[in-house]
Structure 1
């Protein structure tokens, strides 16, 4: 159950970071209203809070989060931004996800 909880927290943190960053991007690059940027900033703060709910150490969580972030970024770009990932995007994201899982979930003594 701890692995499922941890993975859900990684996904929630990733959605907060990508969603918050996306809103700020829209505000600054696509001339959206300032409330987009403010909302994005608040969501980015939530990302920092959600990441602390992990039970592993800071370094391990943030190292592994990078792999989760890569796959979530590709999925976000595909579903929200209209980006069509090619096979190399998918292979690279899966390799990053595998590396993240090894960092966090490998049995240690």
Structure 2
């Protein structure tokens, strides 16, 4: 279970970084060269998705919940935004849904 969770978090971070770097280029005047590591991060994201042990539709469904929670942690740590009660509640709901899907893989 921890291996799957770690793989999902690594996948989410690769996607977030791959999207955040172009944002820096487009909105924060970062160098165009920042797009190279962004492309690498998105390629890593796709590769990591391929490592998950079940059908892609189930992976994408469960990944969505992990992605939402990881994005909120990114919002707090990188963007410095304090999370609201609604952020925590929403993260709890989507993580519960992801956990239900992941636990169903074993049956």
Q: Under a length normalisation based on structure 2, what TM-score does the superposition of the two structures give?
A: 0.94
Aligned to 1:12: 10
**Residue segments in structure 1 that go unaligned for 5+ positions in a row:** none
Report the 3-state secondary structure (helix = DSSP H, G, I; strand = E; otherwise coil) of the residue aligned with 2:3. Answer: helix
Aligned to 1:61: 59
Aligned length: 107
CA distance in structure 2 between the partners assigned to 1:75 and 1:34 by the alignment: 27
CA distance in structure 2 between the partners assigned to 1:105 and 1:18 by the alignment: 25
The question of whether the paired residues in 2 share the 8 Å contact of 1:23 and 1:40 is answered with yes
Aligned to 2:103: 105
CA distance in structure 2 between the partners assigned to 1:49 and 1:30 by the alignment: 28
The question of whether the paired residues in 2 share the 8 Å contact of 1:67 and 1:93 is answered with yes
Q: What is the aligned-residue RMSD (CA, Å)?
A: 1.2
Report the 3-state secondary structure (helix = DSSP H, G, I; strand = E; otherwise coil) of the residue aligned with 2:26. Answer: helix
- The structure 1 segments of at least 4 consecutive aligned residues displaced by more than 6 Å after TM superposition are none
